[in-house]
Every structure is written in structure tokens, then in C-alpha cells.
Amino acid sequence: MSDPQNPEQPQQPGQSGQPQQPEQPPTAPPAPEPPAYAQAPTAGEAPYGQAPAYGAGYPQAPAYGQPAPSTTYPGKTMGIVAFILSLVGLVTSGLGALIGLILGIVALSQSKKAGQKNGLALAAIIIGAIVLVLTIIGLIVLFSFLAAVAGAAQQCVTDPNTVVQVWGFSFPCASSSY
């Protein structure tokens, strides 16, 4: 019984002469609830995997009139300079060692006040002290040798034909070149 102006269309399953409504997708099951935690994070802490809140976890700025906390290493540069001067003291007859020793002591005390270790300052103190002691011993030996030579020269002035001894070595006062 089809109408010539409206040919009969084959019916699809689910159609029964009623107007079609758009199909709705099937609803998904509800999402499971997250597990309950023992304690919520405090104000200064951020949950795992998240960045801390603005301003949280940073030290407070110092009060007015107080110096800002330093991130530098106090005494490090002075320790390096002291070490180099202590080594230079080997060549400069101890003058550099004395300056290196003083700078090493100052650098080590600055580092200790800041709670840091300064190995170069300690090495400068040790090397500077050793070089300074060796320089003092060398100066004592030099002055005693010069005193012995001066005494021998005085003997030669009083008696030009004598033979003098300086530290176990014999020297004639008169020259034998004729």
C-alpha cells in the first residue's frame, strides 16, 4: 500500500512510524574517588608533584639594618693569594712568605667565622711558616759568616803576613802574586 507520490521506504529496525530522535552515547560509569590521605599538606608544603605556592619555602628577607645573607665563600680569594705569596717567599728571601703567612691567617679566620673550610689558607700558613723559619735560619748563618769574615779581615789589617781561618778554611792575608 504505497502511495505513488510517497514510495514506500524499507523500514529499518527500530523504526515504527514514529519520528526518530538522535541517539545519545552511552553514559560512562562514574570516576572512582581518589584514596583518602592521612594528612593534608601544610601551608608551607606543596603536594607531591606540584610546585610550591608563591613565596612558600623561601627564607624571609632580613630586617632593616641587618646585612643580607651571603652566598659567597669568604676568605677563598685571600687564601689563594696567600698561598701564591707563600710560594713566592721561596724566591724573595722570605718577604713574600711573611705576607702570605699573615694573609693566610686572616683568610682562615674569615672562613672559620662563616663555617667553611679553607685548605689553601691552611697550606699558605704552613708553607709561609716553614719558609719564614728557613729564612731566619739562613739569615743567622749569613750574619755569623759575615761576622767571621769581618774578624778575619781585621786580623789581616793588623798583621798582613798572617794566615787566618774562617769556619775551618785557611786564608793567607798577604797576596803571593809577584
User: pLDDT for 115-146, tens place per residue?
Assistant: 888 999 999 999 999 999 999 999 999 999 99
* % of residues, the chain, pLDDT over 90: 33
Kindly indicate the confidence band of residue 169, based on its pLDDT and cuts at 50, 70 and 90.
Answer: confident
C-alpha cell at 165: 781561618
Angle at 172 between CA 170 and CA 178, to 5 degrees: 145
Q: Which residue has the cell 761576622?
A: 147
Angle at 57 between CA 49 and CA 40, to 5 degrees: 55
**Taking residues 63-73, what's their average pLDDT?**
67
Q: How far apart are CA 89 and CA 103, in angstroms?
A: 13
Is a pLDDT exceeding 80 seen at residue 91?
yes
What pLDDT was estimated at residue 13? 56
**Taking residues 68-74, what's their average pLDDT?**
68
What pLDDT was estimated at residue 159? 85
